[in-house]
Structure 1
Amino acid sequence: MHGEYKVHGGKLVVADLEVVDGAMSAVQIAGDFFLEPAEALNDICLSLEGMPVESSVEDITSKLKKSLPEGAALIGFSLEAIAIAVRRALGVSKSWRDYEWQIIDSEAVSPAMHLALDDVLANEVASGRRAPTLRFWEWDRAAVIVGAFQSLKNEVDLQAAEELNVEIVRRVTGGGAMFVEKGTAITYSLYAPTDLVADMSFADSYAFLDNWVLKALNGLGIDAYYKPLNDITSSKGKIGGAAQKRYHRNTVLHHVTMAYDMDAAKMMQVLRIGREKLSDKGTASAAKRVDPVRSQTGMERRAVIDQMKETFVSLNGGREGQITPEEYAAAEKLVKEKFSTKEWLHHIP
């Protein structure tokens, strides 16, 4: 039985093993990692012999910790990474290729409709009526999208937003406010089974679910990397941010907005970006936080999205999909009942 796990920003860990009478046997751990002393690898493999196949990541990690000699150094990987590789070999932990992904790249809709579609499609995946899905958004107007737990008056200059005809909506995920205009951002959502990230911490799942897009950006010449908890950034500044919500314990909504060619001056007019937040990002002004994908690639926005889709398919598989009429209808109903209501927008004034 064979399993692999690529550590985000690190090395590949490979587990090969057999199962005899419900227990692990002939366990071999390999990979392109570094380990000192080298003899510790034999200790790692021997410690897993005879462990029950139903062992959790925590069980495996605990056993591995006891096996390591004092002062052992694991470079480019971790004991948790070994545990995930082992569970993948056992068929307990899933990888991207275990699912038949659909990729949706559909027409522009209103900001509220996008938020409703996120809710509907996540629930459809949770119910088993829809396959795991990657959806790219098209914005049809300028908007500010505030996080689920943000204070509206603290984050948005409501008068400026009205004067500039910028719509304000609230999403179901946490995180910070985003400013978008038509054709200026690249936004996508993943509706994924939680089995894909079941063996990871909540924080680690962010980087894992966006690893494919980092590879796509790297392929376009951007030295993109992940900055915990939820920022995609580069040596030239922040590119985008991610947010998550878990549905019914079996589906995760993970969505990201990246700046392509944003109007920083307008963004600063409508968003109240405080000094504390800016100091946390290590920048002196809000404008410097917007580092558009366009300036680093010189490519048209659609060409960047096409490259992202190609990278996802090459790494994880996938085929073209569509939003069904029933899903659109359910989202329209949700817009009226929730996402376009003052009660939802102002529930944290």
Structure 2
Amino acid sequence: MHGEYKIPGGKLVVVDLDVEEGVLRHARVAGDFFLEPDEALDAVNRALDGAPADTDAAGLAARIDAVLPENTVMYGLTSEGIGIAVRRALAQATDWTDYDWQLIHEGPQSPVMHMALDEVLTAQVAAGLRPPTLRVWEWAAPSVIIGSFQSLRNEVDLEAAARHGVDVVRRISGGGAMFVEPGNTITYSLSVPEALVQGLSFPDSYAYLDDWVLGALGGLGIKAWYQPLNDIATEQGKVAGAAQKRMVGPDGGPGAVLHHVTMAYDIDADKMLDVLRIGREKLSDKGTKSAKKRVDPLRRQTGLPREAVIERMIDSFRGRYGLTDGKVTPEELAHAEELARAKFGSPEWTARVP
């Protein structure tokens, strides 16, 4: 069995192993990480040998830590990262480069259509009818997008939203409310086969699917990191929030994961605070006293036009994994239009948690 795991902010770990009578055998760890002294690698391999095949990543990490030489130094590598690579080998997980990725970056759509397209395209990936897809959104109108389980009245001042001409929609993924305006927001979705995140815990899957954009931001001169559970942050503050939805495949078979991210390119903080009901408890949880300080837009950090930031991000993804230009098919568009009308545009869905 073969497993690979790119440690967020670190290096690639590769594990090859066998399973005999329910335990790990002949484990061989490799990668482009740095590890001292040399004999530490042999210790890692010995620690994995004989481990029950159902040991989780934390348990494998504990076995490794228990046998490492006292003076061991890891750089770009962690014991837990090795454990995750082992779990991915056992789950027969795939890698980014196993797929032919498609890019969809089309004209502006209404907020309800964006919600519908996410559901339709991810279902197509789950059914094997569409390749893994990176979709970059363009917004036709300002909007507040609330999480699947959020209370509408607790999150949004509907009178203020109407006064500012801001649509309110509910997405299929969990997480918190996002305030977006055309020209001020960069949003993208990844619709990926479930196999890509096999062997990863839920939090680990966020970091894994966000790693490419951390590299893209690094290319723009921004040192960014994944901040559990679902934020991307810099020294100046939060720049993005992510959310996920898992979808089962046909007949309950292997499915797909929707991972979408909203990034602040610029922001009208006063309007955001007028529309969103951001409580003091939520702010204190983030360790700040002002909502305006929670988000630091990319425009200020890069000095680049929004279109240039998006182009750099796409180029970074293409350089890592390959990416061909695609489009929403007529059948997908028709399905999304119906879903936008019957589901995402309906008061019943938007207010399903009043």
2:272 maps to which of 267, 270, 274: 267
The CA distance in 2 between the partners of 1:236 and 1:102, in whole Å, is 33
| 2:191 alignment counterpart | 191
Opposite residue 297 of structure 2, the aligned amino acid is P
Report the CA distance shift for 1:212/1:43 in structure 2 as closer, same or farther (over 3 A). Answer: same
- Unmatched runs of 5 consecutive residues or more in structure 2: 249-253
Structure 1 range deviating more: 11-20 or 295-304: 11-20
Opposite residue 56 of structure 2, the aligned amino acid is E
The CA distance in 1 between the partners of 2:301 and 2:17, in whole Å, is 45
Residue 297 (structure 2) pairs with residue 292 (structure 1)? yes
| 1:227 alignment counterpart | 227
Report the CA distance shift for 1:50/1:279 in structure 2 as closer, same or farther (over 3 A). Answer: closer
Q: Deviations over 1:184-208 (max 9, x none)?
A: 1000000011111111110111011
| 2:181 alignment counterpart | 181
How far is the alpha carbon of 1:221 from its aligned partner?
Answer: 1.0
Opposite residue 315 of structure 1, the aligned amino acid is R
How far is the alpha carbon of 1:6 from its aligned partner?
Answer: 2.1
The CA distance in 2 between the partners of 1:4 and 1:348, in whole Å, is 40
Asked whether the equivalents of residues 57 and 80 of structure 1 are also in contact (C-alpha less than 8 Å), the reply is no
| 1:241 alignment counterpart | 241
The CA distance in 1 between the partners of 2:78 and 2:223, in whole Å, is 24
The CA distance in 2 between the partners of 1:60 and 1:240, in whole Å, is 28
Give the percent of matched residue pairs that are identical in Structure 1 and Structure 2. 56
| 1:310 alignment counterpart | 315
Residue 249 (structure 2) pairs with residue 251 (structure 1)? no
How far is the alpha carbon of 1:279 from its aligned partner?
Answer: 1.0
Residue 349 (structure 2) pairs with residue 344 (structure 1)? yes
How far is the alpha carbon of 1:79 from its aligned partner?
Answer: 4.0
The CA distance in 2 between the partners of 1:56 and 1:22, in whole Å, is 8
How far is the alpha carbon of 1:243 from its aligned partner?
Answer: 0.3
Asked whether the equivalents of residues 43 and 68 of structure 2 are also in contact (C-alpha less than 8 Å), the reply is no
Opposite residue 104 of structure 1, the aligned amino acid is I
Opposite residue 242 of structure 2, the aligned amino acid is A
The CA distance in 1 between the partners of 2:64 and 2:164, in whole Å, is 61
How far is the alpha carbon of 1:63 from its aligned partner?
Answer: 9.6
The CA distance in 2 between the partners of 1:59 and 1:312, in whole Å, is 28
Opposite residue 262 of structure 1, the aligned amino acid is I
Opposite residue 135 of structure 1, the aligned amino acid is R
The CA distance in 2 between the partners of 1:56 and 1:318, in whole Å, is 36
The CA distance in 1 between the partners of 2:289 and 2:58, in whole Å, is 46
SS in structure 1 at match of 2:281: helix
How far is the alpha carbon of 1:18 from its aligned partner?
Answer: 8.3
Q: How does 1:1-349 map to 2 (within 5 A)?
A: 4-15=4-15, 27-31=27-31, 33=33, 39-48=39-48, 55=53, 58=56, 62=60, 65=63, 68-69=66-67, 75=74, 76-86=76-86, 92-248=92-248, 249-349=254-354
Opposite residue 98 of structure 1, the aligned amino acid is D
SS in structure 2 at match of 1:210: helix
How far is the alpha carbon of 1:57 from its aligned partner?
Answer: 6.4
| 2:251 alignment counterpart | none
How far is the alpha carbon of 1:252 from its aligned partner?
Answer: 0.5
The CA distance in 1 between the partners of 2:305 and 2:64, in whole Å, is 53
The CA distance in 2 between the partners of 1:84 and 1:59, in whole Å, is 5
Report the CA distance shift for 1:105/1:49 in structure 2 as closer, same or farther (over 3 A). Answer: same
How far is the alpha carbon of 1:41 from its aligned partner?
Answer: 2.8
Structure 1 range deviating more: 5-14 or 260-269: 5-14
Structure 1 range deviating more: 210-219 or 69-78: 69-78
How far is the alpha carbon of 1:68 from its aligned partner?
Answer: 3.8
Count of residues paired in the alignment: 347
The CA distance in 2 between the partners of 1:14 and 1:66, in whole Å, is 15
The CA distance in 2 between the partners of 1:141 and 1:328, in whole Å, is 19
* C-alpha RMSD over aligned residues: 3.0
SS in structure 1 at match of 2:239: strand
Opposite residue 161 of structure 1, the aligned amino acid is A
TM-score, normalised with respect to structure 1: 0.89
Structure 1 range deviating more: 61-70 or 214-223: 61-70
TM-score, normalised with respect to structure 2: 0.88
The CA distance in 1 between the partners of 2:196 and 2:60, in whole Å, is 22
How far is the alpha carbon of 1:315 from its aligned partner?
Answer: 0.9
